[in-house]
Amino acid sequence: MCKTPGNPNRVVLPTNVKPSHYTLTITPDLKEYTFRGYVEIDIDIHEATKTIQINTKELTLVYGRVDIGEATYEAIETTFDEDRETTTLTFDSELPKGTAVLNINYTGILNDKMAGFYRSSYKDADGNAKIMGVTQFEATEARRAFPCWDEPSAKATFSIKLVVPTELDALSNMPVEEITMVEPEEKTVHFQKTPIMSTYLIAWAVGEFEYVESVTTKLENPVTCRVYTLPGLKEQGRFAVEITPKILEYFSEIFGTAYPLPKLDQIAVPDFDMGAMENWGLVTYRTVALLFDEKTSDLRFKEQVASTVAHELAHQWFGNLVTMEWWDHLWLNEGFATWVGTLAVDHLFPEWDTWPTFIVADVQRGIALDSLRSSHPIEVPVNDPHEIHQIFDAISYSKGASVIRMLSNWLTVDVFLAGIRRYLKKHEYSNATTDDLWAALSEESKIDVSEFMKTWTRVIGLPVLDVTEADGVVSVEQHRYLSTNDVKAEDDETIWWVPLGVHPKPASIADPNQTLKTRSLKFEVPEGPYIFNKNYGGVFRTNYPPAAIARIGKAVSEGSDLVNLSDRAGLVADISSLAKSGHTATKNFLDLVQYYKNEDTYVVWELLAQRVGEISAIFADNERVHQGMLHFQRNLVDSMVQKLGWEFPEGENYLTSRLRNVILRTAGRAGHEATVAEAKRRFAIFVSDPAQESILHPSIRQTAFEIVLSRGGEEELRHVLKYFHEAPKQDQQVVALLALGHVRQPELIAEVHSLAISESVRPQDILYVLNGLSSNPKARIPTWEFVKANWEMFAERYKSSMGLLGSCVKFPLTQVSDAALIKEVNEFFADKDTKNFQRALDQAIEGLTVNSAWVSREQEGLGEWLTANKY
Ligand code: BES
Ligand code: ZN
């Protein structure tokens, strides 16, 4: 395991010279798409040297000079190493030990790759093309904007100046200190000096902006919070700007340290590679992750905004104040921010069922990926920062957050947070490792935390508990869980520490934490039904025998206290996954579903719809099973369709609105006649009369579009495209893009493909289109063909992206079950450079294997079950 700072395999700069302060002046040219830069870096030379190595990327150095007191040393040679992204400055005499100032004058490119200092384009209210400039530096792109020691441990302070046209706004991490005029039409904006921090958290933005503002009320030093937008959009920042001070106050309290900067700006950027970025004091977002309009937005964006804001604000402490020592520990940053962000959203919106949602979303996402051989341990050595693309995934985020939740349950949330406070205090304005966190938690709890966490973070995979009952005894045995269900002895060597969470607790289990530390355990069969993994607090699957499933199912249908919302959701998640992997028969899952007739929560329905829908999607080539499963789904949702209808009553609670959407979407996909007819009727009114726009509430619009596109043709596509092109808001465009992929006719599918890579769709938004296409049985294979045919273009377009290229490969293949495709995919990539998305590719192929095995194993049995149950 790579934990030592001195790991010889890491691609790092020599340590003979260290920076302490940067004075950086950037002059963008927004017409030529270039910028000039001048940086003065205060350095400490630890050993006399003739060379200085520094990170740069796509920068052209004009000159480099070192000043030591009165003496100056011009660099006589600068050599660029493209692979290591470094420039070496060579001097003709030795630079003595001590402090010095390194001056570099250079130029760079204001690129359109969403990395480094880049430009983002948009149209103003009059339709004129405009651009703004903004930065994205994590993980290693600060070097595209200024020569620097671009490593998280090389912390320094920064004084930033931007030289920009007078009429533009300029923002950076810190508040403006002063503005000086260069010429009547040009000004220099000087920002206050930052605290000591890492380069990847530096940010600035230049453009025409407006903002809404709020101020914290509970902090000793009030913090001004602004949400910046392009002109005309600021009102959509209201929701974010209202919750921001509350979240800052909440984190200041639970982290035991107030937010340390005087201001916090957040800005919506029209082109953005990911969801958001936690730059200290200037957080950047994809527009739909920050802006929300109560009147026109689909309600689900509200939750997305809240959770994204909470996540990024969590990083202001966990990541920014205390920073990972090296990229190996990215999981700690991201897993923790995901967990504590959820804690904050639950605190602010207790009516949203945030934790149960976390169980069906994050926990399942993490487990699903970790059930593949192509997964990786949470803690994984990242020697070359370029490998970071590969760990920007559901293991670092979702499994990471899930094991943190498990640990916080194990220690109790109060003790856990006390440990976090200890950790933050000890390492503030510095760097730390995963082991440092375990040490702080161990000191606080007096329990050896690393002993508990070892198997969860250092070992690949997770366990399944095989439960059997015989002669009044329950036996549980843990084994590695693989979706391919082909565990070999060498895969199965780990004994996890599993918090069993058996409820009601059997008398023979004395440990209050019920931690299974051995391969197996036995206890007496309890009187009535019992469950494992209470509240779904642990990260494992439970494989109950059919009799036990039936008993718990009965408890579900009777509304028993034994099974709360999290338990009901967890049961569906486990049994459906175990069916897919072949640990249990798929009919056991379908039998279980029948017990959920009285279910009325959004969270459980979302999962039920997903898992039942997955069967019809993956078995799409078997007409008998496919049709039978659609029938099963129509039957499943029928009474809910009638109960919920299409109208959104004024003041209805959030979860009911979400529930209506899942039910109608499921009904529509399954061809529920009344639902399809109503969707068509409302759509016809919606497109013919703008005054009746409210006939399709924003929260149901995507579903209605999807239904009419999948059951209609050319004409419906024209209307949805028109909606897309004319939609004034980015979230409305997203809604249309997500629906477009549902067209069924080959020529319309081809048209959607062309649209996806046209000028009309921002490169960041391709995933929305692929998402619809991948869940459309008629479109998956053509979409894979489309990706292949345009591969060079995709590879070039997304070469700097964190994950988009991998997703372009993975998405079209997720629900395909044709084993022959495996060979084809392998052959296609055989002569291509796959290093930036190798994991995504392996995962796609393994997913195909799992799907095709499921179909061959179960198609007969499922057909029989459907016939016997009259579907
Ligand atoms: N720090 C990340 C973004 C990031 C990670 C950039 C790794 C470069 C390398 C940011 O905090 C983040 O996690 N963003 C998420 C959204 C969040 C709500 C989960 C994203 O962009 O998907
Ligand atoms: Zn994050």
* Of the candidates 571, 572, 562, 574, the residue with the CA atom closest to the CA atom of residue 504: 562
Q: What one-character-per-residue DSSP string does 666-726 give?
A: HHHHTT-HHHHHHHHHHHHHHHH-GGGGGGS-HHHHHHHHHHHHHH--HHHHHHHHHHHHH
Residue with tokens 């320094």: 156
Residues 712-871, CATH architecture: Alpha Horseshoe (1.25)
What residue's CA is closest to ligand 1, atom 22?
275
Domain boundaries, the chain: 16-207, 209-317, 322-458, 712-871
CATH numeric code, 209-317? 1.10.390.10
Assess whether the C-beta atom of 278 lies below 6 angstroms from ligand 1: yes
pLDDT of residue 6: 56
Assess whether the C-beta atom of 138 lies below 6 angstroms from ligand 1: yes
What is the C-alpha to C-alpha distance for residues 867 and 871, in angstroms, rounded to an integer?
6
What residue's CA is closest to ligand 1, atom 14?
276
115 CA to centre of ligand 1 in angstroms? 14
The residue ranking higher by pLDDT, 389 or 251, is 251
**Beta-carbon count within 10 A of 292 CB:** 23
The CA-to-CA distance between both ends of the chain, in Å, stands at: 53
Task: Tell me the CA distances in angstroms from 783 to 23, 470, 638, 650, 772, one per residue in order.
Answer: 49, 50, 32, 41, 11
Say yes or no to pLDDT of 527 above 90.
Answer: no
Q: Tell me the whole-structure pTM to 2 decimals.
A: 0.97
Pocket test for ligand 1, best of 144, 300, 334 (most atoms within 8 A of CB): 334
Determine if residue 334 is labeled as part of a ligand binding site. Answer: yes
For residue 537, give both structure tokens.
């607090």
pLDDT band, very low/low/confident/very high, at 391 (cuts 50, 70, 90): confident
308 CA to centre of ligand 1 in angstroms? 9
What is the C-alpha to C-alpha distance for residues 520 and 496, in angstroms, rounded to an integer?
11
pLDDT digits (tens, 9 = 90+) for 317-368: 999 999 999 999 999 999 999 999 999 999 999 999 999 999 999 999 999 9
Assess whether the C-beta atom of 275 lies below 6 angstroms from ligand 1: yes
848 CA to centre of ligand 1 in angstroms? 28
pLDDT band, very low/low/confident/very high, at 512 (cuts 50, 70, 90): confident
The proportion of the chain whose per-residue pLDDT surpasses 90, expressed as a percent, equals: 94
What residue's CA is closest to ligand 1, atom 6?
138
What residue's CA is closest to ligand 1, atom 17?
308
Compute the average pLDDT of residues 354-383.
96
Tell me whether domains 209-317 and 322-458 share a fold.
Answer: yes
Q: Report the CATH superfamily, name and number, of domain 322-458.
A: Neutral Protease Domain 2 (1.10.390.10)
**Beta-carbon count within 10 A of 182 CB:** 12
For residue 626, give both structure tokens.
């496919």
Assess whether the C-beta atom of 276 lies below 6 angstroms from ligand 1: yes
- Nearest bound ligand to the CA of residue 341: 1
Q: 3-state DSSP: the chain helix, strand, coil percent, rounded to 5?
A: 45, 20, 30
Which helix (H) or strand (E) segment holds residue 131: the answer is strand 129-136
For residue 676, give both structure tokens.
């399809």
pLDDT of residue 2: 37
pLDDT of residue 4: 45
146 CA to centre of ligand 2 in angstroms? 24
Q: Are 700 and 660 in contact (CB under 8 A)?
A: yes
458 — phi, psi (to 5°)?
-100, -10
* Burial zone of 341 (CB within 10 Å; 0-12 exposed, 13-18 middle, 19+ buried): buried
Which residue of the set 138, 312, 325, 606 is catalytic? 312
What is the C-alpha to C-alpha distance for residues 95 and 819, in angstroms, rounded to an integer?
63
pLDDT band, very low/low/confident/very high, at 799 (cuts 50, 70, 90): confident
Q: Are 484 and 850 in contact (CB under 8 A)?
A: yes
For residue 641, give both structure tokens.
């369709």
What is the C-alpha to C-alpha distance for residues 785 and 670, in angstroms, rounded to an integer?
26
603 CA to centre of ligand 2 in angstroms? 24
Assess whether the C-beta atom of 134 lies below 6 angstroms from ligand 1: no
User: In sequence order, what are the residues at sequence separation of 6 or more whose Cβ sits closer than 8 angstroms to the Cβ of residue 594?
Assistant: 553
Assess whether the C-beta atom of 580 lies below 6 angstroms from ligand 1: no
Assess whether the C-beta atom of 315 lies below 6 angstroms from ligand 1: yes
What is the C-alpha to C-alpha distance for residues 808 and 187, in angstroms, rounded to an integer?
43
Residue with tokens 């000793």: 220
Say yes or no to pLDDT of 1 above 70.
Answer: no
- The domain over range 16-207 is classified in CATH as 2.60.40.1730: yes
User: In sequence order, what are the residues at sequence separation of 6 or more whose Cβ sits closer than 8 angstroms to the Cβ of residue 176?
Assistant: 170, 189, 190, 191, 192
Active site residue 208: no
Q: Quick check: helix, strand or coil at residue 8?
A: coil
